[in-house]
Amino acid sequence: MSFKFEELRVYQKAISFSNFIYEITKSWPSTYRFNLTDQIIRAALSIPLNIAEGSGRTSKDFQHFLSISRGSCYECIALITIAYQQKLITEEQYKELRETIDFIARMLSSLKNKI
């Protein structure tokens, strides 16, 4: 059985982003575990989770959930910037993550406008 939201490209991209965040944070020192690591994982997971939850609601509610997802994108930008400044990710990873988040945020805005 497949759910309609699983077909959304933005949802698929958000799932991939969340998995990438899990991968890169595995190597972070334990001193970051209960703050930066947990926070960036929660923010990344919030993006696809809100898409999924909102898709089962009214159009107006779905737009609201997409706005929450977009807010989580912005939160990820701040967290990625801190991770980069703390030397937890490379410049290449930093650029890739920012590009991905920017792309997801634009896709969310586009989807919200189409609803």
| Region for 102 from its dihedrals, namely left if φ exceeds 0, alpha if ψ lies in -120 to 50, beta otherwise | alpha
Domain-embedded: residue 40 = yes
Q: What is the pLDDT of residues 67-105, one digit of tens each?
A: 999 999 999 999 999 999 999 999 999 999 999 999 999
The total of structural domains in the chain comes to 1
Range of the domain at 50: 4-17+33-114
For residue 1, the model assigns a pLDDT of: 75
Domain-embedded: residue 81 = yes
For residue 90, the model assigns a pLDDT of: 97
For residue 34, the model assigns a pLDDT of: 86
- Angle, helices 38-55 vs 9-25, to 10°: value is 160
Domain-embedded: residue 26 = no
Domain-embedded: residue 27 = no
Q: What is the pLDDT of residues 29-62, one digit of tens each?
A: 999 888 999 999 999 999 999 999 999 999 999 9
Domain-embedded: residue 24 = no
Residues 6+ apart with CB under 8 A from 34: none
Confidence of residue 2 (pLDDT cuts 50, 70, 90): confident
CATH number at residue 66: 1.20.1440.60
